[in-house]
Structure 1
Amino acid sequence: MTKHTPVAPQPRRVVVAVAPNGGRKTKADHPGLPTSADELARTAAECLERGASMIHLHVRDPDGGPVLDAESYRLVMARICQTVGDRLVVQITSEAMGRYTPAQQRSVILQTNPEAVSLALRELAPDEADEKNFGLFLAKLKQMSIWPQFILYTPEEAKRFASMQQRGLIPFETPAVLFVLGRFSLLRTAAPVDLLPFIAPDMPRFSFWSVCAFGRREAACVTAAALFGGHARVGFENNLMLPSGEQAASNADLVVAAARALKGLGMATENADGLREQIVATAMR
C-alpha cells in the first residue's frame, strides 16, 4: 500500500488593519504619530512588512486638526500607492469629529471614491428618520464598489444594525462590522472580556467582523477576537502601548505585537489580496 503523508492544515488567516493616527491625538501624545502624506506612506510600508493588510486613514488640515476632505484623502492615497502599490487596502474614515453633518460625510466619501470606508452607525444614521437616506447612500457605495465597514460601539448598536439589515436597509448580504472595545472619551482601557457581550448567544452573527480596543490590552483583545473567528485593528488611534506596558516606538510595533500573538496560537496574518478575495466573495454581494 502507498503511504500518504498527512497534509498539515493551513493556519487561519487573520486580517490585521492598522489605524495609525486617528483624529484626536497629536505629536504631543507621541512624536511618531504620522500626520503628513509622507509620514503616512512610510507608516504604511512599515506596517505592511510586519503583517498589515489594510490601513485606516485620517487626514489633517494645515494646522493639524482633523478634516474630511476629498482632495486631502486623494493626496495621501496617491502617496501610499506610490510607496506600496496595491499591497494594502486603503480605508478612509468618515468620522465626523463633531464637525460634519451626515450629508457632508456622505458627500466626501463619494467625492473621494476610496477602495474602502469606515462608517459609524451612530453618526450616519443616528435616528430611525435617518435610516432611509443611509440605505440609499449604501446603495451608491455598492454601485461604486466601495467596501464599507460598519463601526458598532455597543451591543445595542449591533442589534439595531442587524434589524436594519433584516428590513432591507443594508444592501450588503454579509456586511463587515467593527466592534469597538473601551472608549476614548472615558479613557477606559479595554479588556478581552469586553468582547463577550458582542458575541453572546442572543446576539446577531456577522460573517466578517473585526475588533479594535483602547489601551495596552489591545493585542490581547484582538487576539481573543481572532480565536472567536474575528479580525483585528491596531494602531496609535486607539493605543500607544505595547503589551509590556512600554510605549511603542511606532505603529509597526503594534502590528508586530498582534502578529506575534496570532502566530503563537497557530494563526497567520492575511495579505491584501486575500482580504480583497474575502471582500468580493462575501461583503460586496
Structure 2
Amino acid sequence: MHLPKLMVAPNGARLQKSDHPAIPITLPEMLACAADCAKAGADGLHLHIRDQRGHHLLDAGVYREAVAALAQQCPDLTVQITTEAVGIYSPAEQRAVALESGCAHVSVSVREISRDGPAFATQLFADCAARGIHLQHILYDLADAELLAGLVPAAQLSSPDLQVLFVLGRYSATRNSDPAELDPFIGWMDALGIRPDWAVCAFGAGETACLLRSAKLGGKCRLGFENSTLMADGSIAPDNTARVAEVAALLAKA
C-alpha cells in the first residue's frame, strides 16, 4: 500500500478559526473539506480530530466514526490518522490509537513514540505490521532518521514499502521552510542505499517550492493548513481546496 501522491493535511492539532476561518474543526467541516480537496486533486487526507472545544484529540472511537464517515463521503480518498502527542498524550495512548482506531494508515513521530524506550517503539512497529496497519514515520531531522534506522530491521529499512515523511521548516527560527532542507535527508538515503516510500511536508512560505522539489526527486507531497495557509505567491489561501488545486496544477506541469 503506497503513500498518496498528494495528501492534504487540512487542520493539524493547534490552529483555530481565529487563525483562519476555513480551518475545519468539526466532522461535517472535515467531510466537506475532504470532498472538495478530492475534487481538486488530493488522493489522501491526513486526519486530526478535535474535541467539542476544538482541542486536539486522540480517541480511537472518535477516529473510527470519522474514518467511516470519510470512507462513505470520499471512497477513493486514502485516510491517514495522526498519533501526534502535542505534549498531551503518552506513548501508551498513542499506541492505543494506532492499534484500535480501525484505520489502515497511521502516522507516528519517531522521536515521540521512542520516549518510553526503543523496545516500546519496535513493538508498536511490529504490532502494526502484524495487523496490516501502514505506519508513516515522521522525521524532523537527521537525528530522527538515524533513530529510525536503529529501530527497524535492516530488511525493513531497505524495503521500498517503508513509509517516511520528511518535515521541513518545523523547527527553523522563522517557521519557514527551504528546499535545501531536503538535502540532508536525500544524503541519508543515498548513504544507506535506500529508497523508502517518502513524502515531504513543509512549513510557511516555502511550502510550494519544497513540494515541487520533492516531486522532482521522486518524493510525494503533503500540503495544507496544518503546515501553511499561504499560496505560492505568498498571499493567504482562501481554503485548503485552493492550495490543493494550485499545487496539483503545478505538479502536472512539472
Do they fold alike, i.e. is TM over 0.5? Answer: yes
2:204 pairs, out of 208, 212, 215, with 215
1:191 and 2:178 are equivalent in the alignment = yes
What TM-score do the two structures reach when normalised by structure 1? 0.82
Deviations 1:89-134 (A, max 9, x none): 11000000101110111012212121200010000013xx611121
- Closer, same or farther: CA 227–170 of 1 in aligned 2, 3 Å: closer
Report deviation, 1:81: 1.8
- Quick check: 1:135–1:169 contact (8 Å CA) kept in 2? no
Q: Match for 1:151: what amino acid?
A: I
**Which shows bigger deviation, 88-97 or 14-23?**
14-23
Distance 1:203 1:31 in 2: 44
* Equivalent residue number for residue 94 of structure 1: 83
* Equivalent residue number for residue 65 of structure 1: 55
Map 1:264-283 → 2, pairs under 5 A: 264-265=253-254
* Equivalent residue number for residue 42 of structure 1: 32
Structure 2: gaps of 5 or more residues: none
**Secondary structure, counterpart of 2:191 in structure 1:** coil
1:134 and 2:121 are equivalent in the alignment = yes
Q: Match for 1:71: what amino acid?
A: G
Report deviation, 1:185: 8.1
1:155 pairs, out of 130, 134, 142, with 142
Identity %: 38
Q: Match for 2:24: what amino acid?
A: P
Distance 2:155 2:162 in 1: 12
Distance 1:192 1:125 in 2: 28
- Closer, same or farther: CA 124–171 of 1 in aligned 2, 3 Å: farther
Distance 1:34 1:151 in 2: 23
Map 1:1-285 → 2, pairs under 5 A: 15-85=5-75, 87-126=76-115, 130-166=117-153, 174-183=161-170, 186-200=173-187, 201-202=190-191, 205-265=194-254
Structure 1: gaps of 5 or more residues: 1-12, 266-285
Query: Aligned-residue CA RMSD in angstroms?
Result: 2.2
**Secondary structure, counterpart of 2:234 in structure 1:** coil
Distance 2:62 2:48 in 1: 10
- Quick check: 1:132–1:169 contact (8 Å CA) kept in 2? no
Distance 2:234 2:130 in 1: 45
Report deviation, 1:227: 0.7
- Closer, same or farther: CA 190–92 of 1 in aligned 2, 3 Å: same
Distance 1:101 1:52 in 2: 31
- Quick check: 1:159–1:204 contact (8 Å CA) kept in 2? no
- Quick check: 2:208–2:247 contact (8 Å CA) kept in 1? yes
Q: Match for 2:203: what amino acid?
A: F
Distance 2:36 2:69 in 1: 14
Q: Match for 1:228: what amino acid?
A: L
**Which shows bigger deviation, 134-143 or 55-64?**
134-143
- Closer, same or farther: CA 256–194 of 1 in aligned 2, 3 Å: same
- Closer, same or farther: CA 79–186 of 1 in aligned 2, 3 Å: farther
- Closer, same or farther: CA 227–14 of 1 in aligned 2, 3 Å: farther
Report deviation, 1:160: 2.3
- Quick check: 1:138–1:171 contact (8 Å CA) kept in 2? no
Q: Could you say which structure has the greater relative contact order, defined with CA pairs below 8 angstroms and 6 or more residues apart?
A: 1
- Closer, same or farther: CA 191–70 of 1 in aligned 2, 3 Å: same
Distance 1:186 1:97 in 2: 19
Distance 1:204 1:61 in 2: 43
Report deviation, 1:53: 1.1
